[in-house]
Amino acid sequence: MLNIVLFGPPGAGKGTQSQMLVEKYSLVHLSTGDILRGEVSAGTPLGLKAKALMDAGSLVPDDVVIGMIDNKLTQHKGAAGFIFDGFPRTVPQAEALDALLAKHATNISHVLALEVGERELVARLVLRGQSSGRADDNEETIRKRVHEYNTKTSPVADFYKQQGKYVGIYGIGAVEEIAGKLNKAIAGTKVH
Ligand code: AP5
Ligand code: MG
């Protein structure tokens, strides 16, 4: 199986690049943010609980997102592989993902990290906020999301560096150019 973690701060291009990778490698795209937004718009009890946290730019609890991923891995048994977008976001989530994949006799192949500085992230998301309808795409909440990333999510990079799986990729430039770098990394070529 090809199991890719697409890692990076809010607005780094995880969703955009996931779409390219899903098509090329026939992977199942698992975005915890997309799944949570689906729960919010369906008005489920989970969605109602998650909404306030998401609107504030805070992470939802680990057990909630780990449970969602567990369900999806079982639901898509037999898939060629997965692309994890926006998950794991904490070290406990990363540990849980390793355990879940081991249960399915597989593991993470690559952690591809889109590296983009805060100024560019804020500019991209403020621009998207003018049309996205996402309640968290306003400057105050964007900065909170980046802060959550810096404090809670960036340690996940070290977790995967220790496993020798982390590949940093400069994430500013044309979407196709960045996709090319991701493809090279998947093919095992060292890129930056
Ligand atoms: P989530 O939905 O994961 O959002 P995010 O990580 O904050 O970031 P985005 O999805 O906005 O950015 P992206 O990296 O996907 O970039 P995109 O391709 O869209 O999470 C939302 C919330 O859900 C969290 O705050 C939390 O509350 C909760 N949550 C989710 N997962 C969780 C977890 N595991 N644990 C706990 N809580 C969780 O691109 C962004 C913009 O930039 C777009 O407009 C795009 O067109 C543009 N763009 C893309 N590439 C380029 C480029 N190369 N050049 C210029 N513009 C570009
Ligand atoms: Mg996204």
Give the integer Cα–Cα distance in Å for 100 and 137.
Answer: 32
- pTM of the prediction? 0.97
Per-residue model confidence (pLDDT) at position 125: 98
Which ligand places an atom closest to the C-alpha of 116? 1
Per-residue model confidence (pLDDT) at position 188: 83
Ligand 1 midpoint to CA 104 (Å) = 27
Q: How many CB atoms lie within 10 A of CB 76?
A: 15
Per-residue model confidence (pLDDT) at position 46: 94
Which ligand places an atom closest to the C-alpha of 13? 1
Per-residue model confidence (pLDDT) at position 189: 67
Tens digits of per-residue pLDDT, 130-149?
999 899 999 999 999 999 99
Which residues of the chain carry a pLDDT beneath 50?
none
Tens digits of per-residue pLDDT, 151-174?
999 999 999 999 999 999 999 999
